[in-house]
């Protein structure tokens, strides 16, 4: 199953379990313009339509870039603070839609992931990079700041000091340095293949538990530790009433593989 858009492609693995969105503006190094952001929102909704879809991978088309950033040519027309704020909110909405996906999301970073491209990768749950990947937030060199969530998601991921290093210097980091600072989870020669294998290792687990585990982590980071622990207990109670939990416990005690139904 495959669905085409102008600036990206949505396809599914043969079993339908994994959706793959490929950003497809290779001549522009897959830069994010307003049209692409709108298509991305539609693709995110479409990938959830098949009930068998359990994970999403986002990658870049071509050999050079994952996503080289936002389309800077569109910024030329911004003249007022209001217009700039609206542009940032539009990008943030797209990234927040990725972060809010109920299924695990993985960025397969196969080249340049700069500015809005890195911000999109940060909105995913996990990141796999190819050895030639280059990542960074170069906005201050253009007289801007990251506006699609980079100033907020990056320090939450790698810490304030490391995030400020990348944001204030506008430097690019390679895959190995990104791995060492926790910016990416894995480095592999074939980022997309590794992302698929990672997705497979995740989706063998209970779908209900996966969704609630994501929710616990994401929502827990916005409050105090005690708030997070209370949230964890609530969600633990919720998942304890699922059919998947009963199947998982029964399978463990019976020494067999569980057959989860997502219920």
- DSSP-derived letter for residue 7 is S
- The pLDDT of 63-81, averaged and rounded, is 88
Q: Which of 182, 241, 233, 165 is nearest to 208 (CA)?
A: 241
Percent of the chain with pLDDT over 70: 99
Domain with CATH 1.10.12.10 in the chain: 207-253
Residue 262 has pLDDT above 90, yes or no: no
Residue 47, class by beta-carbon neighbours within 10 Å (0-12 exposed, 13-18 middle, 19+ buried)?
Answer: buried
- DSSP-derived letter for residue 142 is G
Q: b/e for 140-149, b at 16 or more Cβ within 10 A?
A: eeeebebbbb
Q: Using one digit for the tens of pLDDT, what is the confidence trace for 85-119?
A: 999 999 999 999 999 999 999 999 999 999 999 99
Could you write out the DSSP letters of every residue in 193-244?
HHHHHHHHHHHTS-HHHHHHHHHHHHHHTTS-HHHHHHHHHHHHHHHHTSHH
Q: Among 23-37, 70-84, 144-158, 169-183, which stretch is predicted with the lowest mean pLDDT? A: 70-84
**CATH 2.40.30.30, applies to 2-203:** no
Q: CATH assignment of 207-253, given 3.40.50.300, 1.10.510.10, 1.10.12.10, 2.40.100.10?
A: 1.10.12.10
Q: How far apart are alpha carbons 128 and 187 in whole angstroms?
A: 6
Predicted pLDDT at 75: 82
* Contact assessment for residue 229 and residue 245, using Cβ atoms and an 8 Å cutoff: no
Predicted pLDDT at 78: 87
Predicted pLDDT at 3: 64
Q: Using one digit for the tens of pLDDT, what is the confidence trace for 213-256?
A: 999 999 999 899 999 999 999 999 999 999 999 989 998 999 98
Domain with CATH 3.90.226.10 in the chain: 2-203
Q: How far apart are alpha carbons 206 and 155 in whole angstroms?
A: 30
Residue 1 has pLDDT above 60, yes or no: no
With bands split at pLDDT 50, 70 and 90, how would you rate the model's confidence at 2? low
With bands split at pLDDT 50, 70 and 90, how would you rate the model's confidence at 24? very high
Among all residues, which ones are annotated catalytic?
119, 139
Total residue length of the chain:
263
Strands, sheet with 134-136, edge to edge from the N-terminal-most edge strand: 65-67, 112-114, 134-136, 173-174
Q: How far apart are alpha carbons 214 and 102 in whole angstroms?
A: 8
* Contact assessment for residue 203 and residue 18, using Cβ atoms and an 8 Å cutoff: yes
Q: Check the CA dihedral 109-93-77-83 and report its sign.
A: negative
Residue 181 has pLDDT above 90, yes or no: yes
CA 140 to chain centroid:
23
Q: How far apart are alpha carbons 66 and 68 in whole angstroms?
A: 7
Predicted pLDDT at 167: 98
Q: Using one digit for the tens of pLDDT, what is the confidence trace for 134-174?
A: 999 999 999 999 999 999 999 999 999 999 999 999 999 99
With bands split at pLDDT 50, 70 and 90, how would you rate the model's confidence at 202? very high
Please state the pTM of the whole predicted model: 0.94
Q: What are the C-alpha distances in Å from 148 to residues 36, 55, 89, 93, 236?
A: 14, 23, 7, 8, 32
């Amino acid at each position: 199953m495959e669905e085409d858009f102008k600036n990206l492609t949505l396809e599914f693995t043969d079993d339908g379990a994994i959706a793959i969105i490929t950003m497809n503006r290779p001549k522009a190094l897959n830069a994010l313009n307003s049209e692409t952001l709108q298509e991305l929102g539609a693709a995110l909704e479409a990938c959830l339509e098949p009930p068998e879809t359990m994970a999403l991978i986002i990658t870049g088309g071509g050999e050079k870039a994952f996503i080289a950033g936002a389309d800077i040519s569109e910024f030329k027309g911004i003249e007022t603070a209001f217009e700039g704020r609206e542009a940032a909110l539009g990008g943030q909405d797209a990234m927040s839609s990725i972060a809010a996906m109920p299924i695990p999301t993985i960025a397969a970073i196969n080249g340049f992931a700069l500015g809005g491209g890195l911000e999109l990768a940060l909105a995913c749950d996990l990141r796999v990079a190819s050895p030639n990947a280059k990542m960074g937030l170069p906005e201050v060199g253009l007289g801007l700041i990251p506006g699609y969530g980079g100033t907020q998601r990056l320090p939450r991921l790698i810490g304030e000091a490391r995030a400020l290093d990348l944001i204030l210097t506008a430097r690019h980091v390679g895959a190995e340095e990104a791995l060492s600072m926790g910016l990416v989870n894995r480095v592999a020669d074939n980022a997309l293949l590794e992302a698929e294998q990672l997705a497979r290792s995740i989706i063998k687990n209970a779908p209900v538990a996966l969704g609630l585990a994501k929710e616990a982590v994401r929502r827990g980071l916005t409050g105090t530790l005690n708030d997070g622990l209370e949230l964890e207990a609530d969600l633990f109670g919720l998942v304890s009433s699922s059919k998947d939990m009963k199947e998982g416990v029964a399978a463990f005690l019976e020494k067999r593989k569980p057959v989860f139904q997502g219920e």
